[in-house]
Structure 1
Amino acid sequence: MEGISTRPSPMKGGDGPYSYAHNSVYQRQGLETAKVLINEAIAEVLDIKEVISSSSSWKSFAVADLGCSVGPNTLMAVENIIDSVKLKHQSFGQNQEALEFMVFFNDHASNDFNTLFQSLPPDKQYFAAGVPGLFQDRLFPKASLHFVHCSYSLHWLSKAPKELIDKSSPAWNKGRIYYIHAPKEVREAYSAQFAKDMESFLNARAKELVSGGLMALILTCLPDGNSIQYYDFAFMDLLEASLKDMVYAGLVSEDKLESFNFPQYNPTPEELGTLIEINSCFSIERMEPLVCPTKRGSSGIHGVRAVWEELVAGYFGSDIVDELFDRFEEKVAKSSIFSQSGNKQMIELYVLLKRKTY
């Protein structure tokens, strides 16, 4: 085996033209669509008296956003949750003592928490704290959370499968950076890594959520079947081609490229549902596609860079980033990626889970 498995990186921080803060409209539209579903979940499924009595402090309500990045999306998501919980709590009558809210923003230790905290509204109605670390691991004390939110993050693996860089393995991913157009053993290795990560994720949240606590997930999934005609995969093909061009130009070493694999995986809804059922700590209260407007277009190229730049820079070095994405943008402009009728959106899946009674 050569090299090390590629690990995920945070989104592009700061306030610049390629920052995630300015290039996350794709994710924001999904969150806007999910707002009404989360409001319904809190109104209809959340038993506030039960979840508060299950925690150590009955006057407080703790919300965690996992994979928060730098905003403004995370702020919109948590404020919507808080407003809905307040409304539900007030419905019990005027004599109810006001709840205090604690919001935990989680992401990689190298996430740009400074930009996030600088964007917090001065009149926020909650206490805020940053919690660095991978969300596949434990992050909080037992039974300390009442609501967990995680959007557009679960497709990131804790690492790319190690088999992909093992030349003796059937899953050796020679000449590719992803599982698209790869042998079935490569996809199976990605699927197995996703299953391991989801098991860790669900086990950690099962300990951290109180009985009756809710978890809302939003993630991009593949429909059942083996179609590969999706915008996201077409973008990946073009990035792979751009990296290969830089190898031919002597700007990137071939060995470095051979050891690079994207640490992300998009499951099918059936695959995800099976993993949740195997875990058995949560009931699936709702699982359905979000009906979002068409969100891909040439203006989304900066959004791709906002998501991928830190990963590429961390593996290949920051000195290649500008040229790589210039080459990538040129290939996108020359391609028929936006005009091909076969290229489709993946499913934006909304999943609501409830922590079963201990």
Structure 2
Amino acid sequence: MAGAVQSVNFSKALPMNGGHGLYSYSKNSTYQKKVIVAVKELITEAIAEKLDICVLSSSNTICVSDMGCSVGPNTFVAVQNIVEAVLNKYQSQGHDHSRLPEFQVFLNDHALNDFNTLFKSLPPNRNYYVAGMPGSFHGRLFPNDFLHIVHTSYALQWLSQVPKEVENVSSPAWNKGRIYYSSAGDQTVKAYADQFAEDLDCFLHARAQEVVCGGLIILMVPGRTDTSPHTRVFSNISYDILGSCLMDMAKMGIISEEKVDSFNIPIYFSSPQELEATVERNGYFNLERLECLPLEKSQDTIPQKARAVSYHIRAGLEFLLKEHFGHEILDELFDSFNEKLEKSEVFQLGLTYSLLALLKRKET
């Protein structure tokens, strides 16, 4: 009898809003799409330079996984970019059409993800086969030596859990009066940084068993420069503003202050230095490329920007907020959030960077 597949609940499922409604992820993820489009040429170049065709499948099938795919449509853009880049690599080496590989793509996210919307949105004329792979990418998902290319974009900043110390009243990292780490004390910031490093190591350890030697991981995460303070990151400022809205509601008696004290957003924005250190400690991958890329600022008006940010954050955090505070407060909370965003300096002061890392599985 074959050995049982290990199934462990590695991380809490925090799905993006499904469907195609006003606050759905599919309608409020243009920011993430801009990042995928912006790095297309870099990924094409990286695959041309670093992917060894000789390590690909002898059966002429290349297995690709997009991890943290959510509900689309961005995952299809990323997958198509990778497929085209690999085909370009084959053709540049003189392979004729009859010798081009086929592609099996696995779209991965937590089991609570809206896979129905995802698969209903599949491009009809795609040049790859597709399957779903539910489960946490902080643990094993595939058999040994199975994948050739792994892609993940704007997913690894989500932690597997809020750091335990942050929720412990007796800990110096306890985050009373805040819902996020960026303007908290050093102990809280360290707890988040350590959790990110631990989660990334789990991700890499699992992929090290699943990715063939010479295979690639393309990793995109929102981040910051090595010298940027956490308090200047655009999203971090936005989350602090959201926290102030919750504290306002607590002062008005709409929710309890204890409820706010026990709520923390499980997201961390890494620096290139932190990411590189974790990859080196893990030891299974060579870091072939690491870029810190600024995202072009929108030319929209302040009210347009505020509404877009409010909808975007609601699409990502609504599940978490509803679970903790109940759905009744959401409209009032995000109306207040939108109003504060318009009056804030976040659009002038906030810094927005993406980290692009290309990892190659070591031979041993």
Deviations 1:297-323 (A, max 9, x none): 323321122122122112222222222
Is structure 2 residue 335 aligned with structure 1 residue 347? no
How far 1:96 sits from its partner (Å)? 5.2
| Aligned counterpart for 1:317 among listed residues 302, 306, 326 | 326
Is structure 2 residue 72 aligned with structure 1 residue 71? yes
Give me the whole-angstrom Cα distance separating, in 1, the residues matched to 2:196 and 2:295.
25
Report the secondary structure of 2:56's partner residue: helix
Paired position in structure 1 for 2:7: none
Q: Say what the alpha-carbon RMSD is for the aligned residues.
A: 1.8
Paired position in structure 2 for 1:94: 96
Paired position in structure 2 for 1:138: 140
- Asked if the contact 2:145/2:210 (under 8 Å) is kept, the reply is yes
After superposition, the Cα gap between the structure-2 partners of 1:147 and 1:196, relative to the gap in structure 1 and judged at 3 Å, is same
Paired position in structure 2 for 1:21: 26
| Aligned counterpart for 1:32 among listed residues 37, 51, 75 | 37
Give me the whole-angstrom Cα distance separating, in 1, the residues matched to 2:171 and 2:292.
36
Paired position in structure 2 for 1:332: 341
How far 1:130 sits from its partner (Å)? 1.2
What TM-score comes out, normalization by structure 2 length? Answer: 0.90
Which structure exhibits the higher relative contact order, with contacts defined as CA atoms closer than 8 Å and separated by 6 or more residues?
1
Give me the whole-angstrom Cα distance separating, in 1, the residues matched to 2:12 and 2:336.
24
After superposition, the Cα gap between the structure-2 partners of 1:295 and 1:204, relative to the gap in structure 1 and judged at 3 Å, is farther
Deviations 1:90-137 (A, max 9, x none): 333227534221111111111111111001012222221111111111
Report the secondary structure of 2:15's partner residue: coil
Farther-moved stretch of structure 1 (20-29 vs 89-98): 89-98
After the TM superposition, which residues 99-138 of structure 1 pair with which residues of structure 2 at under 5 Å, given as runs?
Answer: 99-138=101-140
Report the secondary structure of 2:103's partner residue: strand
| Aligned counterpart for 1:289 among listed residues 285, 288, 292 | 292
Q: Which amino acid aligns with 1:347?
A: Y
- Asked if the contact 1:26/1:295 (under 8 Å) is kept, the reply is no
Sequence identity of aligned pairs in percent?
47
How far 1:276 sits from its partner (Å)? 0.3
Deviations 1:169-207 (A, max 9, x none): 111111111112211111111111111111101100101
- Asked if the contact 2:237/2:350 (under 8 Å) is kept, the reply is no
Paired position in structure 2 for 1:3: none
- Asked if the contact 1:230/1:346 (under 8 Å) is kept, the reply is yes
Deviations 1:262-303 (A, max 9, x none): 101111110110110111111111111235311483233211
After superposition, the Cα gap between the structure-2 partners of 1:226 and 1:76, relative to the gap in structure 1 and judged at 3 Å, is closer
- Asked if the contact 1:65/1:148 (under 8 Å) is kept, the reply is yes
| Aligned counterpart for 2:172 among listed residues 161, 170, 173 | 170
What TM-score comes out, normalization by structure 1 length? Answer: 0.92
Paired position in structure 1 for 2:61: 60
Paired position in structure 1 for 2:163: 161
Give me the whole-angstrom Cα distance separating, in 2, the residues matched to 1:305 and 1:185.
28
After superposition, the Cα gap between the structure-2 partners of 1:222 and 1:290, relative to the gap in structure 1 and judged at 3 Å, is closer
| Aligned counterpart for 2:270 among listed residues 255, 261, 267 | 267
Give me the whole-angstrom Cα distance separating, in 1, the residues matched to 2:330 and 2:252.
15
Give me the whole-angstrom Cα distance separating, in 1, the residues matched to 2:332 and 2:290.
41
How far 1:161 sits from its partner (Å)? 0.4
Paired position in structure 1 for 2:4: none
Q: Which amino acid aligns with 1:67?
A: G
Q: Which runs of 4+ in 1 moved over 6 A?
A: none
Give me the whole-angstrom Cα distance separating, in 2, the residues matched to 1:108 and 1:72.
17
Give me the whole-angstrom Cα distance separating, in 2, the residues matched to 1:292 and 1:173.
30
After the TM superposition, which residues 291-310 of structure 1 pair with which residues of structure 2 at under 5 Å, given as runs?
Answer: 291-295=294-298, 297-298=305-306, 299-310=308-319
- Asked if the contact 1:34/1:290 (under 8 Å) is kept, the reply is no
Paired position in structure 1 for 2:53: 48
After the TM superposition, which residues 126-275 of structure 1 pair with which residues of structure 2 at under 5 Å, given as runs?
Answer: 126-225=128-227, 227=229, 228-275=231-278
- Asked if the contact 1:231/1:344 (under 8 Å) is kept, the reply is yes
Report the secondary structure of 1:350's partner residue: strand
- Asked if the contact 1:289/1:347 (under 8 Å) is kept, the reply is yes
The count of aligned residue pairs is: 346
How far 1:49 sits from its partner (Å)? 1.9
Deviations 1:318-357 (A, max 9, x none): 222222111211221232332x3xx132321111010111
Give me the whole-angstrom Cα distance separating, in 1, the residues matched to 2:343 and 2:240.
13
Q: Which amino acid aligns with 1:280?
A: G
